Amino acid sequence: MNNPVILQFFHWYYPEGGKLWAEIEQQAQYVGELGISHAWLPPACKGSDGGHSVGYDIYDHFDLGEFDQKNSVATKYGDKAGLLRAVEALNHAGVGVMMDVVLNHKMGADEKEAVKVNRVDESNRTEIDDEVVACEAWTRFTFPGRAGRYSRFIWDYTCFSGVDHIDNPEEQGVFKIINDYTAEGWNVEVDAELGNFDYLMGANIDFRNQAVRDELAYWGRWLLEQIPCAGLRLDAVKHIPAWFYRDWLAYVQSLREAPLLVVAEYWSPDLEVLKHYIEQVQGRTMLFDVPLYMNFYCASQQGEDFDLRTLYDATLVADDPFHAVTLVGNHDTQPLQALEAPVEPWFKPLAYALILLREQGVPTVFYPDLFGAGYEDQGQDGNTHHIGLPAVAELPALLRARQRFAHGIQTDYLDHPSCIAFTRSGTDDAPGCVVVLSNGAEGEKSVCLGAGFANKTWCDYLGKREEIVTTDDAGNGVFTCPGGSVSVWVLEEHRES
């Protein structure tokens, strides 16, 4: 795989009306030409809000926009036929598909059941009240619109460990369901936030139930039969026992000869937590490099006050690059979302240069940064906010630069608080580059490229600098960039090649 790049081909506020699959089909050739190797699609299964659902409120794993359920046949993004056309177009363009896998919970049950629960302290989930509460809960999923097609499995309260709403008495909160699998409390090998972060939302799937594990293994096989996947994105793994995904991924991978590119969302800025999870699942998934993302966010907020020499401190890509997927934004960090922490526009070209042109990690491009986006929604202050996310003008060129120039040995010049650089030496078959970044005033770096690059003429591939740089007899040169920006210097002879 030559310099893989993931495109997150959606954002949280993507318009409704079944437009995405059609857009992906239309844009497939373009993104392939940019060097995108994998397109991460949003959850394609029917959510509890039907055609309005972003997809993370999972209702029926076996409905890819095929059945009249939740007041809609199609999902927010289109119907199954449209999905298959989009996948075919991507594959034709040389782009593999990554499906978003949501296995933590289910929502939108078809029937209530009589259950018994214990109330749980929401701020400390290990504090479980001894009182047994007899009540009703929405825990029975029969999928009448699908009528047993693909799977006849019925989900009931024995498949779940907790809910956030009960009836008779009617209460909101966190409630541990009492059944044969929950006597010991919540699952282990989950995140320790709030004491035990097994429970997140909805009807919380309990993987201790063998029938549940069998059904999800069957679904994994079914998904690969329906969609020619090149990879998977795993949602909310900090809430799912690591032992489950260790075994599930081993099974799913056994169904394919080619390795799947798998990345899991474990949203924690703590490097040690991420490393522990990778160890627990025996390295079977990569993780998003949240520590690096948070460094990008802080750097964009602080401007010249941020010390660029510390960008890679305590990051996954520095510690374990083979398991790191790097990013500059996603659907959870965009404005008005729960984890809102958007990288400021001025810093995005720098951040993308740092993930696309360096050797370590697999980079992710976010849809609004490539195509732009605009939307409105109610913020936490109760007011309606109009958000515009302009495309990053330099991004197409940086993507092309990744494929053409990000080759060979990397040498770092991370030696100044506001101006850093790195070089790629190139190979016999592909040229390299010199990348200079500044978060303050105009920057410059004296770079030693070696005798093999003596008396060579270089130009800025991004067009940020009009002048050229000519190295001396020893291959030394002084390369610059504008203030608060990035320049990518390439051999003039290769600029248009």
pLDDT, tens only, 103-137:
999 999 999 999 999 999 999 999 999 999 999 99
Q: Is residue 221 assigned to a domain?
A: yes
Q: Is 217 helix (H, G, I), strand (E, B) or coil?
A: helix
Q: Which of 60, 100, 215, 235 is catalytic?
A: 235
Q: Is residue 188's pLDDT more than 70?
A: yes
Using the 3D structure, point to which of 205, 238, 273 is the last residue of a domain: 205
Query: What tokens appear for 207 in the block?
Result: 């993987």
Write down the pLDDT at residue 497: 57
Where in the sequence is the domain holding 316, given as residue range(s)?
6-102+210-401
Query: What tokens appear for 378 in the block?
Result: 């109610």
CA atoms within 13 A on the CB side of 5: 29
Q: What CATH number corresponds to the domain at position 139?
A: 2.40.30.140
Q: Is residue 1 assigned to a domain?
A: no
Q: Is 332 annotated as a binding residue?
A: no
Q: Is 350 helix (H, G, I), strand (E, B) or coil?
A: helix
Tell whether 150 and 90 lie within a shared domain: no
Q: Is 206 annotated as a binding residue?
A: yes
Query: How many residues would you count in the chain?
Result: 497
DSSP conformation letters of 351-413: HHHHHHSSSSSEEEEEHHHHH-EEEEEE-TTSSEEEEEE---TTHHHHHHHHHHH--S-EEEE
Q: Is position 60 annotated as part of the catalytic site?
A: no
Residue 328: which residues within 8 A CB-CB, separation 6 or more? 293, 296, 343, 348, 351, 352, 355, 364, 365, 366, 369
Tell whether 155 and 300 lie within a shared domain: no
Query: Average of pLDDT values for 130-154?
Result: 98
Q: Is 52 annotated as a binding residue?
A: no
Q: Is position 265 annotated as part of the catalytic site?
A: yes
Tell whether 330 and 376 lie within a shared domain: yes
H-state helical runs in 281-360: 290-302, 316-319, 348-356
How far apart CA 124 and CA 193 sit, in angstroms, is 8
Tell whether 200 and 215 lie within a shared domain: no
How far apart CA 192 and CA 195 sit, in angstroms, is 5
Closest CA to 349 of 459, 461, 485: 485
Q: Is residue 158 assigned to a domain?
A: yes
Q: Which of 100, 265, 289, 320 is catalytic?
A: 265
Q: What CATH number corresponds to the domain at position 312?
A: 3.20.20.80
Q: Is residue 267 assigned to a domain?
A: yes
pTM assigned to the model: 0.96
Q: Is 239 annotated as a binding residue?
A: yes
Q: What is the tens place of the pLDDT at every residue in 243-275? A: 999 999 999 999 999 999 999 999 999 999 999
Closest CA to 356 of 309, 392, 303: 392
Tell whether 201 and 253 lie within a shared domain: no
Query: What tokens appear for 436 in the block?
Result: 């200079």
The answer to whether the beta carbons of residues 405 and 431 sit under 8 Å apart is yes
Tell whether 481 and 412 lie within a shared domain: yes
Tell whether 432 and 372 lie within a shared domain: no
Query: What tokens appear for 440 in the block?
Result: 């303050």
Query: What tokens appear for 135 in the block?
Result: 């009540």
Question: How many domains in the chain?
Answer: 3
Among 374-378, 462-466, 476-480, which stretch is predicted with the lowest mean pLDDT?
Answer: 374-378
